[in-house]
Amino acid sequence: MSDNLSQDSGLTVALNSGALANGTTAATIKTTVAINYVIDGRFYSKAITDNITISYSGPTVYQAPTGVGGINGAFTGGANGSTRVYGLFLDTSGAVSILPGPIVDSADLAAGRASLQWPDVPNGVCPFGAIRIALTAGTTFIPGTTAFGATGVTTTYYNLADMPANPLTA
């Protein structure tokens, strides 16, 4: 859960939807509406942009017990398929970054035995959306490399004002 208004910082929130969609180039995203957003009480704007490259170069995060997670934010569908959400963030310069959330067994998610957690919001950035990636068994997704419409990949975009406090349950 993000704390978009705390005692030691100002409001951080996206003021409108960027109408996220697949970019023209494979494995990229685009905003089809300019995004107005606030970080620590200051206004910023991100112009309509196509072919936004997404990649993750941070530490290995949220590896599933069967080891289906990867160091570059990649993951591979387990026996029942796997699902994860990638948070999308803007900094004060308008640069886009991502943060992968935990990997969940797709069958457990569909049956209500598991929930899909949103990633935490790092300091100094504003969440403006998320990408939910569901994979069939044995399919691998690598952010910035795998096309969102590739065989075995189901992509859902979420336009957000802030990172939701409650997980997705289906």
Residue 8 lies inside a defined structural domain of this protein = no
Q: Total structural domains in the chain?
A: 1
Rounded mean pLDDT, 96-105: 92
Residue 1 lies inside a defined structural domain of this protein = no
pLDDT of residue 92 exceeding 80, the answer is: yes
Residue 167 lies inside a defined structural domain of this protein = no
Kindly report the pTM of this predicted structure.
Answer: 0.88
Residue 130 lies inside a defined structural domain of this protein = yes
Residue 27 lies inside a defined structural domain of this protein = yes
Residue 166 lies inside a defined structural domain of this protein = no
Residue 154 lies inside a defined structural domain of this protein = yes
User: What gap in Å lies between CA 136 and CA 93, rounded to an integer?
Assistant: 36
Residue 164 neighbours by CB distance under 10 Å: 16
**What are the pLDDT digits (tens) for 48-90?**
999 999 988 766 655 544 545 555 688 899 999 999 999 999 9
Q: Tokens for 48, please give them.
A: 């309509």
- Cβ contact 62:102 at 8 Å: yes
User: What gap in Å lies between CA 143 and CA 71, rounded to an integer?
Assistant: 11
What residues make up the domain containing 49?
13-159
Residue 7 lies inside a defined structural domain of this protein = no
